[in-house]
Amino acid sequence: MSKKKEIIDKISATLNIKVETIELFIQKFKGKYFVIKYGGHAMGDESLSISFAQDISYLEKLGIKPVIVHGGGPQIGAMLEKLNIESKFIEGLRVTNEETVKIVEMVLSGSINKDIVNKINKTNSTAVGLSGKDGKIIFAQKLKSKIKDKDSNIEKFLDIGFVGEPQKINPSIINQLSSNQIIPVIAPVGYGKNGATFNINADTAAGHIASALKAERILLLTDVEGVLDSNKKLISEISVDTATKMIEENIITGGMIPKIETCLKTVKSGVKAAVIIDGRVKHAILREVFTKGGYGTMID
């Protein structure tokens, strides 16, 4: 039995779907990029992280090109606490001074990144850890964020230090690695003018990378089922216009808003679809890629 046939049979048994269905999706997605934002419970739970690594390996072995962009907020917070460095947040964003950004880079590009790489390498695939600074992948500038004063209603710019937003993505090293069956695992740390280092939101980084690669999909692993309607029921698929309207009508609220906004920008840039997936469920990625109904909420 060939290795490919063995993997297809394993996926078929795991998801309880026909081999023929899996083979159809392999033909559809072969050679296409899937950018996967990895974080939350999926990354914090050891059993889920091992399962995630195996699923990514399966995608690569079947001819799909996975690119992983990972977060690490809880781990950064734990390290800062250990070093007695106070964490401050403004509008949900971590204030990142020169001292803090060094810790952020150390945790993201170091322990977290290498743990993901190591788990994938154990599956008999090959992964390489990078940050956005390697190969000049992510050129960034300081995030310009505005806040409206509740009393005066006057908008003002926030200065939250070395928090960045991507300005230019250079995908050449990603293309080179993927073309050689090597899975890129990217920490969302960018470089700026005069050698500055920037901490970048992982969803944002993943969106910009997916856009630059003209990816088939961007998958955002989260700690919720997906997008819920006004009756709190999962919506399996929505259009860009509908998602925009749901934000305006306060159906989509809170932390889901920036994720959806990332999805909208990415789809508008040419990525075929964006999917919000429940990373708390084993094999969520395989369910999305190889089942007809998909998994989570697709925005296209």
* pLDDT on residue 159: 67
Residue 164: is its pLDDT beyond 60?
yes
* pLDDT on residue 282: 93
pLDDT band at 163 (very low <50, low <70, confident <90, very high): confident
* pLDDT on residue 170: 97
More confident site: 226 or 126: 126
CA–CA separation, 100 vs 115, rounded Å? 22
Q: Within 13 Å and on the Cβ side, how many CA atoms surround 103?
A: 22
Helix runs in 62-112, H state only: 73-82, 98-106
> Which uninterrupted H or E stretch holds 218?
strand 217-222
Strands 33-38 and 182-187: unpaired
138, 166 in Cβ contact below 8 A? Answer: yes
CA–CA separation, 296 vs 54, rounded Å? 20
- Give 47-93 pLDDT, tens digit per residue: 999 999 999 999 999 999 999 999 988 888 888 888 888 777 776 66
pLDDT band at 189 (very low <50, low <70, confident <90, very high): very high
Nearest to 55, CA basis, from 115, 11, 118: 11
Considering Cα of 290, then 291, then 296, then 297, what sign does the dihedral take? positive
Average pLDDT over residues 265-291: 94
* pLDDT on residue 21: 95
Single pTM value for the model:
0.92
More confident site: 100 or 198: 198
Nearest to 119, CA basis, from 75, 177, 57: 57
- Give 245-274 pLDDT, tens digit per residue: 999 988 888 888 888 999 999 999 999 999
Give the lowest-confidence range in 69-83, 109-123, 175-189, 265-279. Answer: 69-83
Residue 40: is its pLDDT beyond 90?
no
More confident site: 98 or 242: 242
* pLDDT on residue 158: 65
What are the counts of helices (DSSP H) followed by strands (DSSP E) for the chain? 12, 16
* pLDDT on residue 191: 96
Residues 6 or more apart whose Cβ sits within 8 Å of residue 194: none
More confident site: 43 or 6: 6
Residue 156: is its pLDDT beyond 70?
no
